[in-house]
């Protein structure tokens, strides 16, 4: 079986770690590179966290690239300490690999080179602010045509926010980058929005079973997830999840969809853009159901998934 070639663009907090581990465990996937962006933590911490996840999975052979440390316009958004100050639950590892293991080439240039060397074969999965992807498009506009597909965790479809009134974190962290990517990337594009992840959450009982696996990976995940889990299980946060309380591993949805073409059972195809102005709406994804934007390129907004397949991918990630 020919393996799917993936590049993962991440801002490694806990859910990115979950997504990376899911991709690493998939037998039909070859990860060509992991590129790091500002977002859940400082860029240095994101790079360290990514290397730490790879070490846990014995996959430090995968090249990791340092990307952008701030948004296109430099209006940096403070992500707070949702995943802890370091992005991995403030559960340090004294033996964690160092930044000397990073590749010398920068993320945007690495994306361009790898995609152009494998025309029509590489799927790019972005679970971070889209700065690296936007810079790549600006450096080499034609490379986008060589992508097989693009999967994004970000944006929103019903104007529900998780960082501002009606903005999702990854898009609000760099609205200009999100605008550029949704405008210039014309390959098949699939988006797992904030509302989509909320409506496809899993019960906490599954999370308990998932973390109870007797493996080093499961113990690592339980350790780094403890801080965030306590926070998200509060009544205030659970009310934000649209469809009631549950376990929401946001970034894994985009990776799961890239791994398994049959995972998404319902989607809608529509042209989209990003609002760049407004006191409340900056960074909000706009869905053009009336075709007023006259955009030829439309994206697939995920609606529902096969939850049993999703659960199995999560379970496999920690085996």
Residues with a catalytic annotation lie at 11
**Contact at 8 Å (CB) between 72 and 37?**
no
- SS3 state of residue 6: strand
**Contact at 8 Å (CB) between 89 and 14?**
yes
56, exposed or middle or buried, with CB in 10 Å at 0-12, 13-18, 19+? buried
Best CA proximity match to 246, nearest among 265, 270, 229: 229
Secondary structure percentages of the chain, helix, strand, coil, to 5: 40, 20, 40
Tell me the C-alpha distance between 67 and 282, whole Å.
24
- SS3 state of residue 127: coil
Q: Please give the full DSSP string across 38-99, using - where no structure is assigned.
A: SSSS-HHHHHHHHHHHHHHTT-TTS-EEE--SS-TT--PPP-TTTT-TTSSTT---TTPPPG
**Contact at 8 Å (CB) between 7 and 114?**
yes
Contacts (Cβ under 8 Å, ≥6 apart) of 185: 133, 137, 144, 147, 150
Best CA proximity match to 74, nearest among 135, 126, 153: 135
Name the DSSP letter for residue 228.
H
- SS3 state of residue 114: helix
**Cα within 13 Å of Cα(52), Cβ side:** 26
Contacts (Cβ under 8 Å, ≥6 apart) of 293: 271, 273
């Amino acid at each position: 079986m020919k393996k799917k070639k993936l590049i993962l663009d991440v801002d490694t907090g806990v859910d990115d770690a979950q997504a990376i581990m899911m991709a690493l465990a998939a037998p039909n996937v070859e990860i060509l590179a992991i590129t790091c962006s500002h977002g859940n933590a400082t860029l240095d911490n994101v790079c360290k966290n990514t290397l730490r996840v790879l070490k846990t999975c014995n996959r430090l052979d995968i090249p990791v690239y340092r990307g952008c440390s701030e948004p296109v316009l430099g209006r940096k958004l403070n992500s707070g300490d949702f995943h802890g100050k370091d992005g991995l639950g403030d559960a340090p590892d004294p033996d964690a690999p160092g930044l000397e293991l990073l590749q010398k080439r920068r993320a945007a240039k690495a994306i361009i080179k790898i995609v152009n060397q494998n025309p029509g074969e590489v799927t790019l999965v972005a679970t971070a602010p889209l700065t690296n992807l936007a810079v790549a498009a600006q450096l080499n506009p034609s490379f986008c045509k060589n992508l097989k597909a693009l999967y994004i965790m970000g944006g929103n479809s019903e104007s529900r926010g998780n960082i501002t009134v009606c903005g999702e974190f990854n898009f609000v962290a760099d609205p200009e980058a999100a605008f550029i990517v949704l405008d210039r990337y014309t390959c098949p594009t699939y988006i797992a929005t904030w509302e989509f992840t909320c409506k496809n959450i899993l019960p906490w009982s599954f999370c308990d079973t998932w973390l109870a696996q007797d493996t080093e990976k499961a113990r690592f995940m339980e350790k780094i997830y403890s801080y965030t889990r306590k926070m998200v299980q509060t009544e205030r946060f659970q009310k934000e999840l649209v469809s009631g309380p549950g376990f929401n591993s946001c970034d894994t949805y985009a990776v799961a969809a890239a791994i398994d073409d049959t995972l998404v059972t319902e989607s809608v195809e529509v042209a989209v853009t990003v609002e760049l102005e407004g006191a409340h709406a900056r960074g909000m994804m706009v869905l053009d159901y009336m075709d007023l934007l006259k955009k030829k390129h439309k994206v697939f907004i995920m609606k529902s998934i096969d939850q049993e397949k999703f659960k199995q991918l999560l379970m496999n990630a920690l085996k």
